[in-house]
Structure formats: C-alpha cells, structure tokens
Amino acid sequence: MPTLTRKLTALVALAAASFCTQADAAEAQLRLDAAAPGPVINKNIYGQFAEHLGHCIYEGIWVGPDSPIPNTKGYRNDVLAALKNLGVPQLRWPGGCFADEYHWMDGIGDRSKRPSMFNSHWGGVVENNHFGTHEFLDLCEMLGIEPYVCLNVGSGTVQEAMEWVEYMTSPADSPMANLRRANGRDKPWKVPFLAVGNESWGCGGNMRAEFCADNFRRYNTFVKNYSDVKVQRIACGASADDYDWTDKMMAIAGKQMNGLALHYYTLPTNDWKGSKGVATGFAEDQYFSTLRNTLQMEYLLNKHIAIMDKYDPEKKVAMVVDEWGIWTDSEPGTNPGFLYQQNSIRDAILAALNFHIFHAHADRVTMANIAQMVNVLQAMILTDKEKMLLTPTYHVFEMYKPFQGATSIPVKLLTPDYAFKDEKIPAVSATAARATDDKVRLALVNVLPNETATVTCALAGLDAKSATGRILTATAMDSHNTFAAPDTVVPQPFTGSVIANGKLTVTLPAKSVVVLELQ
C-alpha cells in the first residue's frame, strides 16, 4: 500500500494556497464567473472500486441466486437499487492487490465447477470464484456502468491478458470469443478501460519503475482492440509522493499510455504500521488531522501533473486517481484483513474536498475511484445479512451527481482559517459548474466542527434570482448511520441562502456540505 507523504505542515500550506487565499475576516468571500467556463468535469471522476476483499463482492454485491436475501440473478436487489440511484459512471475490478493473483479463467463457466482460490492478501479466506468476468460485466451492463478491468501483471502472463481482452470484447469467430459464446454470452461486452497491473511497486510485483514501464509497453503491444471501442490503457502510477516513479513511467512509456494511475489514502494518524486512527469515537485532533491530510491531494496532483506536463504538454495522458479515500483501523471484532470501517460526516466532508480538488484539475484528472464501494474502507454501502444502509459518503456522491460531465466555472475564494493548536487549514471550500441540464451548481463545504461560516458570493456572468439545494450535516464530528438508525446523516432541504443585488449569501452550519442550484 502507498507510503505516506511526510512534511505535512509545509505540504498542506502549499496545498491550501493553490486553491484559495486566506481571508482576515471570519466571513468567506467568493466570486463565481459563469462567463469564463473552464474544462469539462469528466463523469468518471465519480468512479467506484470493487475488489475481492472482505464482504465487498460476496454478501455485499453478490449473494447468489439461491440466497434468501432478495436478489436478481444473484445480485442483491437493495444494493442494485442503491447503485442505480448513485449513477456510478465506471467501476474498477477485480482489484487492487487481488488482481495480480487473479486468473480469469477460474471465474468463467459453470459456477459449480469453478475452482476455489486462496485470497492471500485479504483475510486468508478461500473464495469460490462464483463472481467472475460474466458476473462483473453483466452487473455493469445492468446498471449502465462502464467497466474498468485490472489485468494480472504480477503473477499472470501477457498471453493470459491478451486472451482475457479477446474473451470480453472480440466479436470474431475466434477461440476466446467462441469460449465466451459457449459460456452463454454471444455479444461481446464493451470494456473501455484497462489497468495494466496494480501497485506494481508493491503488492503487484515489487518492480522498479523502469521495469514496470517496459512491462507496460510489452502488455500494450499484445492487448488488442477488437471492436469499435478503443480500450484505454491505464499504466500503474505512483504511490503518494513517489515523483521519480511518475518521471520514469512518463519518460519510458508515456507515449504508449492513455492514463497514469495515482494512489493516495488519507490516514488520520499518518501511521501505516500502528493505529491509523478510528472511524468513530475520535476527538477533534483526529478530525483536524484527517482533513489536513486529505488536502495533500492538491499538492500531490500539482507535483505529479507538473512532471506529466513536461513529457505530455498536450495533456493526452490522463491522471487517474484510481484509489483514494480514508483508511482507518478496522471495526473492533471484525477480521482486520476485511478492512471494514464505519463512515461518518467527517468522511463525507473528506470526499467533497477531494471532489473539489479533482474539479480544479479537470484538464488532467479524468478518472478516479474511491476505495471501496461496499463494506470496505470508505464504502458507499454497508450490509449485514439481509440489512443494508447508505453511508454519509454515499449521500455526498449522490448530491454531487450534477457535476458529472458538467463544465467547470472558475471561482475565487477568500476563506477564514480552521485553526487547531498551531496548524491551520482553509475553513471553506467551493466548486461550481454548469451542468448538462444548463443549470449552474455551486457546492460549498464548511469544515469547522463547531462554527457557522457565512459565504458571500459575487455572481459574474449569471443573472440568478434564487438558490435552492440540499445540505448534509450532523450534530457530532463522528455522526454516522447504523442499522438501528440508518437515517442519522442524510441530505435535507437547505434554506440558508439568499440572493439580493446580484450577490448570493449562504450560511453554512458547522461540518456541512451544501450543493445549490442557481436559477
């Protein structure tokens, strides 16, 4: 897993400076210029990640057609409905570290005859391979999700990867396409995104950057386009602040790749070897450190993108942040290898801050995948046998749906500080865009845990008369939804905004996320 960037105080100061300026007064001031549109915010920034890890796949998405839990062809009906409502644009599978031990032929054909496998990375459990290529791609097709498949580069072969792509995407009268037909699928699927390995610097093979780059060129040569859908090849990128990795990958293989990945996790404590921090029951020190650490994403993107710009000034290669989110200690009493953690209003705020950073880099960041979709890390959905709940992070993803495919609008923000002990971060964050329905959306975040923030916004190039929207907030820093109380943190109508004399004034409660529609 990624190593964590050091020198936090200096980095966060730079990160904050890159997207806002500190105001002297307690009130935040914002200018929105709708007459100067920026780049399109790619819908794929709102992607998800489903790995064979813990109960993400089994019990989370897949229960099998014979389960007493209501299902459609083995997929949980409640989870299907929740994902459909979320509008997931793309989904990464089967890993993660799991991908580089996964051999796809074990997961096709008659389920009763599929060989089991030992999941050495996550919990040391044996799984039956009942969820494989057909199950994943059929799920994507059912929900209108674009598949993002991660190839096994660590323990697999070039031939295995080449044949898998043929199996999935070829319409020809060829061996792998005919094997697919024999397994019940005549028409090929569309698979627009392929990851050529995962974390090749670590669990994916402990490779040097030079070897990984050469290996990418090799796999890229043999992975074919079999239909009118050109497969986008995403190369294994850096862990957090490994800028040398990015430099070597771009220098050696930049002209062959369509995207370069980046992995960065927010840890409340910055301690990979000890306690990462708790998901609930934390005090303000971990609330602050979590938000401070997640703002490093801005600094990391600036540094990696500057290297990419050196080799690719035309921005043909996308930055793909295909693992991000908060990583805390697992819930007490659960298998630590299953990475099951609760999810609070703090985590929803963290997600919104990352959305804003991705929007600010929409000319280069075109895909991202939060880790993970169900029951693992910063999940959208938690399940317990027949029960299901939606987390605060699910709700913030749902609130930001209008930003998928929207055209960004520049904002200038003067914000007060959120000061804790001897450190400071911006108290308010903002992003704006003109959505595909031609309506302007403004999203605001107040990270202050106990104080209201007032934002006064000048509306340039926009004759708005009203502002309506929703808010996600809570009473405590660690407020979260449980199976006994699943609606503790849910969006509510927002009434704290007014437009007068061409200015919008918004009163943001403490620890809140607000998305407004300006009309």
User: Judging by beta carbons within 10 Å of its beta carbon (0-12, 13-18, 19+), is residue 493 exposed, middle or buried?
Assistant: exposed
What b-and-e string marks burial along 315-347, b requiring 16 or more CB atoms within 10 Å of the CB? eebbbbbbbbbbbbbbbeeeeebbbbbbbbbbb
Contact 183, 107 (CB under 8 A): no
Mean pLDDT score, 431-439:
96
- For the chain, the domains span 48-277+315-405
Q: What is the pLDDT of residues 232-242, one digit of tens each?
A: 999 999 999 99
Give the Cα separation of 19 and 360 in Å (integer).
8
Pairing outcome for strands 503-508 and 318-326: unpaired
* Predicted pLDDT of residue 26: 59
For the cut 60, the answer to whether the pLDDT of residue 88 exceeds it is yes
For the cut 50, the answer to whether the pLDDT of residue 5 exceeds it is no
Q: What percent of the chain has pLDDT over 70?
A: 95
pTM: 0.94
Kindly give, in sequence order, each residue whose CB lies less than 8 Å from that of residue 186, ignoring residues fewer than 6 positions away. none
Coil, helix or strand for 22?
A: strand
Q: Which CATH architecture best describes the domain 48-277+315-405?
A: Alpha-Beta Barrel (3.20)
Average pLDDT, the chain: 94
331: annotated active-site residue? no
For the cut 50, the answer to whether the pLDDT of residue 399 exceeds it is yes
* Predicted pLDDT of residue 261: 98
Name the band, by pLDDT with cuts 50, 70 and 90, for residue 201. Answer: very high
Q: What is the CA radius of gyration of the chain?
A: 22
Q: What is the pLDDT of residues 252-274, one digit of tens each?
A: 999 999 999 999 999 999 999 99
Catalytic residue among 127, 298, 323, 398: 323
166: annotated active-site residue? no
Q: What is the pLDDT of residues 306-353, one digit of tens each?
A: 999 999 999 999 999 999 999 999 999 999 999 999 999 999 999 999
Mean pLDDT score, 55-80:
98
Name the band, by pLDDT with cuts 50, 70 and 90, for residue 123. Answer: confident
Within 13 Å and on the Cβ side, how many CA atoms surround 24?
0
* Predicted pLDDT of residue 9: 39
Catalytic residue among 51, 199, 298, 398: 199
Contact 26, 417 (CB under 8 A): no
DSSP designation for 42:
-
